[in-house]
Structure 1
Amino acid sequence: MTEMFSTLGTWNWLIFGFILMALELAAPGVFLFWFGLAALLVGLVSFAAHPSWQTQLLMFAVFAVAAVPIWRRLAASPSRASRSNPFLNRRAAALVGRVFTLEKPIIDGTGTVRIDDTIWRVAGPDAPAGSRVKVVRADGANLTVAAA
């Protein structure tokens, strides 16, 4: 076993790293990618310096363990898309405060309004079709309106 470790070299680490990253593509789970990256880093360090096999294994362990908090920090940070569009998965919430024209009158507290290419059900005080209403609350796909 010691003889196998003593033959560890740059190419072994690079090949091992690429194999781990390929396995990540075959069975995604995120952790094999970081082990593969750690192996590639050990291979790159082995190009510049020629550490002993014990040092190489220690570097692999340190890089693999250091990758965990880095990965957690990257995974926890909000994506650029969610910061640029805070209502991405809450379309109805983005309508609060906007004014629209009733498509069908509000009778007995229920009517409809066309917003872009969608017809939304609205609740509010009775009003004739064509009236301007302001969305005051969104609850799921139901909008509550008031006279604008």
Structure 2
Amino acid sequence: MTIEFWHWLALGFGLLALEMFLPTGFILLWLGVGAITVGGIAWIVPGMGWAVEFVLWGALSVIAVLAWRKFKPLSFESERPTLNRRGHAYVGRTFTLGEPMVNGVGKLRIDDSQWRIVGSDAPAGTRVRVVEVEGTTLKVEKLD
């Protein structure tokens, strides 16, 4: 049984393609890189033997995965962390009530949206600060 260099290249590119469609956490990427590297080595050094090639592929793949885990970038810090969490963008901001809060519940118009708010009862015109977001409800406190 002989394995040609192009078998390794096909395996490597196949693993890279699978990585795009399967949620494997980049493991198939590094296995593919290892296979492509073995294909390149097998092209340069023909007749290496399939056992040596498999050991080399395993070693290169393990080294690549371990190196990636050690040196991968830490979590990405967004410049706009509340981009898709619109209510959280209002925490800490102050607003004036357009309608009174009755029984601890009211409505607050912010820009082009109307939000349900909870907090202590307050007449219209009271300034409130958003202190927390729970789903689509803003928790507010009165300002003195």
Instruction: State the TM-score bracket (shorter-chain normalisation).
Output: 0.7 to 0.9
Amino acid at match of 2:119: G
Identity %: 40
User: Over residues 92-120 of structure 1, what are the superposed CA-to-partner deviations in whole Å (9 max), with x where a residue is unaligned?
Assistant: 33322101232322122211112233221
Partners of 1:73 and 1:139 in 2: how far apart? 37
Answer 1 or 2: which has greater helix percent: 1
Indicate which of 52, 56, 61 corresponds to 2:58: 61
Equivalent residue for 1:39? 35
Counterpart position of 1:28: 22
Q: Which runs of 5+ in 1 are unaligned?
A: none
TM-score by length of 2: 0.72
Q: Any gaps of 5 or more consecutive residues in structure 2? A: none
Match of 1:132 in 2: 127
Matched to 2:22, the amino acid is P
- Tell me if the contact between 2:42 and 2:48 (Cα under 8 Å) persists in the aligned partners: no
Measure the CA separation in 2 of the matches of 1:100 and 1:32. Answer: 51
Q: 1:121 aligns with which of 106, 116, 119?
A: 116
Judged with a 3 Å threshold, the aligned counterparts in structure 2 of structure 1 residues 115 and 123 are, in CA distance, closer, same or farther, namely same
Distance in 1 (alpha carbons) for counterparts of 2:96 and 2:123: 10
CA distance in 1, matches of 2:105, 2:66: 52
Match of 2:5 in 1: 10
CA spacing shift, 1:107–1:75, aligned 2, 3 Å: farther
TM-aligned CA distance change 1:23 to 1:137, over 3 Å: closer
Question: For each residue in 1:17-42, what CA deviation from the matched residue of structure 2 results, as whole angstroms up to 9, or x when unmatched?
Answer: 123333445x6142443322211121
Question: CA 1:11/1:108 → structure 2, altered by over 3 Å: closer, same or farther?
Answer: same
RMSD between aligned residues: 3.0
Distance 2:47 2:79 in 1: 47
